[in-house]
């Protein structure tokens, strides 16, 4: 496959001389697909993504009202983005059945871009005119220590993290990356992905460091980081969306609940509805990814259909070792 056909964040053709020099001092490797990847501040990035991380760290000026949606890839980001957009649109008097609702015309990733992959991919001083009206909504796959370190240290902005059972996340990554690379999701691809996942050397890995960074952040200051779980959102969507609304400062009124507007938002943001929209069937992200790739099954426990008992055991052991004593259960 011609590298130019790949999303730019997985490539290595947009890095500065300074970044090249930095990379030469970092741990680096070639991943299962033959892409260059390196470890910066404890997290693995493709080179172009690292450039975006550095641009972000250099240039991001937080505003107190900023909202950042964070996740490990394939953990429910698209859903969280859709819910957040729908919740905040209420203050702009957009109800979920308005014909001009933004979610009907753009993919959630188009409405809430990634800091390191979209906004800061090319420059440390991007044009942020599109975000002029507060709150600005951004997203990220960076671990908390990486966004926190330089840019957000003293900012009261809000972060929402969505965490998913890592076995389902792995399977979702396998299908998604096979779609991106236009290859069959074969067992041998799954085995390579599994090895990298368990070693912690995959894109944005290790997963345990990622999850722990936000988990600890949420324990230290629950008003700053809201820790959500994909499985809880599936099991009790009404309670979880209310929790999200309270955290974002836009709780549902009794009248909204009674009039069914909460349920309408859940319906608007459901996988079934989003995937049926024309923009998500045929559109592409600014980063060249087909919108349809973001919607697959959305099931809890789908990994059971693909992982062998040995693979499951190995992941369980890693979780037990790395997350021991932190209070987080899978
Ligand atoms: P990203 O990291 O590329 O943004 P992300 O949205 O986090 O991807 O994860 C995609 C997963 O969320 C897919 O899971 P699956 O592969 O196990 O099916 C996708 O189907 C699921 N998903 C996308 N939209 C929704 C939604 N509205 N409700 C529930 N799950 C969803």
Helix ranges (H only) for the chain are 17-24, 47-59, 77-89, 108-111, 144-147, 166-181, 187-199, 207-220, 230-235, 237-247, 254-258, 261-268, 271-276, 278-282, 309-323
Q: Which two tokens stand for residue 17?
A: 């001389």
How far apart, in Å, are the Cα atoms of 139 and each of 78, 225, 236? 10, 13, 24
Look-up of token digits 């300074």: 18
Q: Name which residue sits closest to atom 23 of ligand 1, judged by CA.
A: 295
Q: Which two tokens stand for residue 100?
A: 């001009």
pLDDT along the chain (330 residues), means of 10: 80 92 97 95 97 96 95 98 96 78 95 96 94 92 88 85 98 96 95 97 97 96 96 98 97 94 96 96 86 96 98 97 92
Distance in angstroms (rounded) separating the CA atoms of residues 161 and 53: 18
| 140, 172, 286, 290, best to mutate for ligand 1 pocket (most atoms within 8 Å of CB) | 172
Q: Ligand 1 atom closest to Cα of 297?
A: 18
Ligand 1 center from residue 223 Cα (angstroms):
26
Ligand 1 center from residue 241 Cα (angstroms):
17
Distance in angstroms (rounded) separating the CA atoms of residues 274 and 240: 19
What residues are labeled active site? 141
**Other beta carbons within 10 Å of 308:** 12
Distance in angstroms (rounded) separating the CA atoms of residues 55 and 74: 24
Ligand 1 center from residue 208 Cα (angstroms):
20
Q: Which two tokens stand for residue 130?
A: 């599109």
Q: Which two tokens stand for residue 145?
A: 């220590």
Closest by CA to 72, choosing from 210, 239, 185, 229, is: 210
* Residue 150 pLDDT: 65
Ligand 1 center from residue 36 Cα (angstroms):
26
Ligand 1 center from residue 148 Cα (angstroms):
25
* Residue 12 pLDDT: 86
* Residue 38 pLDDT: 98
Q: Ligand 1 atom closest to Cα of 75?
A: 7
**What structural domains and CATH numbers belong to the chain?**
61-322 (3.40.50.300)
Tell me if 69 sits within 8 A of 137, measured CB to CB.
yes
Q: Map 159-207 to HEC letters.
A: EEEEECCHHHHHHHHHHHHHHHHCCCCCHHHHHHHHHHHHHCCCCCCCH
Q: Ligand 1 atom closest to Cα of 139?
A: 4
Q: Name which residue sits closest to atom 4 of ligand 1, judged by CA.
A: 77
Where does ligand 1 bind, in terms of residues with CB under 6 Å? Answer: 71, 73-79, 82, 168, 172, 175, 269-271, 274, 294-298, 302
What distance separates the 2 farthest-apart alpha carbons in the chain?
59
Distance in angstroms (rounded) separating the CA atoms of residues 219 and 153: 16
| 7, 72, 78, 112, best to mutate for ligand 1 pocket (most atoms within 8 Å of CB) | 78
* Residue 21 pLDDT: 97
Closest by CA to 222, choosing from 243, 239, 237, is: 243
Residues 6+ apart with CB under 8 A from 113: 119, 138, 139, 286
Tell me if 171 sits within 8 A of 73, measured CB to CB.
no
If residue 140 lies in a helix (H) or strand (E), which one and from where to where? strand 137-140
């Amino acid at each position: 496959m011609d590298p130019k056909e790949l999303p730019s964040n997985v490539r290595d053709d947009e890095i500065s001389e300074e970044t090249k020099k930095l990379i030469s001092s970092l741990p680096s490797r070639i991943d299962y697909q033959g892409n260059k990847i390196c470890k910066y501040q404890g997290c693995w990035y493709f080179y172009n993504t690292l450039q975006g991380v550095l641009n972000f760290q250099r240039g991001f000026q937080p505003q107190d009202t900023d909202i950042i949606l964070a996740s490990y890839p394939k953990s429910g980001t698209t859903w969280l983005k859709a819910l957040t957009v729908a919740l905040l649109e209420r203050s702009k008097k957009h109800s979920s059945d308005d014909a001009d609702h933004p979610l009907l015309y753009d993919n959630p990733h188009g409405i809430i871009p990634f800091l390191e992959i979209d906004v800061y991919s090319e420059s440390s001083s991007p044009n942020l005119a599109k975000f002029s009206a507060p709150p600005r909504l951004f997203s990220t796959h960076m671990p908390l220590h990486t966004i926190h370190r330089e840019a957000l240290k003293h900012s009261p902005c809000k972060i929402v993290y969505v965490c998913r059972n890592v076995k389902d996340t792995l399977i979702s990554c396998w299908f998604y990356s096979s779609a991106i690379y236009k290859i069959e999701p074969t067992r041998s691809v799954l085995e390579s992905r599994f090895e990298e996942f368990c070693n912690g050397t995959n894109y944005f890995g290790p997963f345990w460091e990622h999850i722990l960074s936000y988990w600890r952040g949420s324990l230290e200051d629950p008003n700053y980081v809201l820790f959500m779980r994909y499985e809880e959102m599936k099991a009790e969507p009404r309670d979880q969306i209310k929790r999200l609304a309270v955290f974002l400062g836009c709780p549902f009124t009794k009248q909204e609940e009674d009039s069914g507007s909460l349920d309408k938002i859940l319906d608007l943001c459901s996988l079934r509805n989003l995937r049926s929209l024309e923009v998500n069937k045929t559109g592409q992200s600014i980063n060249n990814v087909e919108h349809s790739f973001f919607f697959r099954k959305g099931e809890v426990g789908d990994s059971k259909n693909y992982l062998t008992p040995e693979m499951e055991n190995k992941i369980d052991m890693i979780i037990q070792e790395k997350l021991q004593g932190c209070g987080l259960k899978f």
